[in-house]
């Protein structure tokens, strides 16, 4: 509440400095949840709501609102390591995407690895994630590879458990990651489209045709190629201060800046014309 009040004071002073009323920007903090609910019901008074927060808040606004809403936020974000992927590059990308800031919607939550490179890559990335204190929820194939390392002793310090079906749909927002081995890129695409929240996905690959197929077939707002998912951000995309990440398809999708807050008015000038 104090942070919001301080921000409003700064914004208000700038607005007044441009000869506008500072009340153009206001807070409903004083009204608590009832104030938020009233905004959702204020059809005819509010043009648009953009919820920023956890999945529960976003779901509540989408389900209860009588005014237009841009759905934002929830990020069950995937990284797919292709058979052609540069494994040396993949490690820092995955670590950055998972650990650089864990409680945000563009942090990676799931890792899919092509079976052709799984025996080589899984031990490497599992050790790197263990050193970063990341807990793993893994499928049977991944579990068998890691558990069989070091004479059956696994990786020292790694907290690894069998994944349950619920894991594949969970946005952890914590030092936790789901890992699964896939037999093909098509299987990875199908898994992502079935479990993703449509926020951001990444592919690690050196195969141009695979990259093109992945970027074409994965139905998410942002696809990163050989780069961290943490780049999905309004500032990183050159949009200025970010309003949010839209996971819907109309009208704004992906990072939203000032342009996505504006609308269009059409004006037709005539001299008596009528349509034939």
**Domain assignment of residue 44, given as a range:** 2-71
Q: What is the mean pLDDT of the chain?
A: 94
Q: Which of 22, 56, 71 is the last residue of a domain?
A: 71
212-230 pLDDT, tens per residue?
A: 999 999 999 999 999 999 9
Q: Specify whether 53 is located in the same domain as 149.
A: no
> pLDDT confidence of 74, banded at 50, 70, 90?
confident
- Taking residues 12-26, report their average pLDDT: 95
Q: Specify whether 171 is located in the same domain as 215.
A: yes
CATH assignment at residue 92: 3.40.309.10
Angle, alpha carbons 68-70-75 (nearest 5°): 150
Q: Specify whether 20 is located in the same domain as 150.
A: no
CA-based nearest residue to 58, from 260, 191, 198: 198
**Residue 118 belongs to some domain of the structure:** yes
Q: Specify whether 105 is located in the same domain as 165.
A: yes
**Residue 40 belongs to some domain of the structure:** yes
**Residue 87 belongs to some domain of the structure:** yes
CB of 219 within 8 A of CB of 246?
no
**Residue 89 belongs to some domain of the structure:** yes
pLDDT at 258: 84
Q: Specify whether 165 is located in the same domain as 56.
A: no
**Rounded distance between C-alpha atoms, residue 210 and residue 225, angstroms:** 11
Q: Specify whether 112 is located in the same domain as 47.
A: no
Q: Specify whether 90 is located in the same domain as 57.
A: no
Q: Specify whether 46 is located in the same domain as 180.
A: no
Q: Specify whether 199 is located in the same domain as 112.
A: yes
Q: Specify whether 93 is located in the same domain as 66.
A: no
Q: Specify whether 11 is located in the same domain as 115.
A: no
Question: How many domains are there within the chain?
Answer: 2
> pLDDT confidence of 248, banded at 50, 70, 90?
confident
Tell whether pTM > 0.85. Answer: yes
**Rounded distance between C-alpha atoms, residue 226 and residue 252, angstroms:** 25
Q: Which of 26, 46, 71 is the last residue of a domain?
A: 71
Q: Specify whether 224 is located in the same domain as 110.
A: yes
**Residue 252 belongs to some domain of the structure:** no
Could you count the other beta carbons within 10 Å of the beta carbon of residue 247?
A: 23
């Amino acid at each position: 509440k104090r942070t919001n009040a301080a921000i409003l004071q700064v914004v208000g002073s700038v607005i007044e400095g441009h000869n506008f009323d500072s009340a153009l920007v206001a807070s409903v903090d004083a009204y608590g949840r009832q104030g938020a609910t009233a905004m959702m019901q204020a059809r005819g008074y509010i043009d648009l709501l953009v919820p920023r927060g956890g999945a529960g808040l976003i779901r509540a606004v989408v389900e209860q609102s009588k005014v237009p809403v841009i759905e934002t936020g929830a990020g069950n974000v995937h990284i797919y390591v292709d058979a052609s992927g540069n494994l040396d590059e993949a490690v820092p990308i995955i670590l950055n995407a998972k650990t650089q800031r864990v409680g945000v919607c563009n942090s990676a939550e799931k890792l899919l690895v092509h079976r052709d490179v799984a025996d080589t890559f899984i031990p490497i990335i599992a050790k790197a994630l263990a050193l970063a204190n990341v807990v793993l929820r893994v499928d049977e194939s991944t579990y068998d590879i890691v558990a069989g390392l070091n004479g059956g002793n696994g990786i020292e310090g790694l907290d690894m458990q069998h994944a349950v079906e619920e894991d594949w749909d969970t946005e952890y927002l914590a030092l936790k990651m789901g890992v699964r081995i896939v037999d093909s890129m098509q299987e990875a695409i199908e898994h992502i489209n079935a479990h993703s929240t449509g926020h951001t996905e990444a592919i690690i690959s050196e195969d141009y045709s695979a990259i093109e197929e992945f970027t074409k077939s994965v139905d998410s707002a942002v696809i990163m190629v050989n780069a961290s998912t943490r780049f999905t951000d309004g500032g990183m995309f050159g949009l200025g201060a970010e309003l949010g990440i839209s996971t819907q398809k109309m009208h704004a999708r992906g990072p939203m800046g000032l342009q996505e807050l504006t609308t269009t008015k059409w004006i037709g000038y005539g001299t008596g014309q009528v349509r034939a």
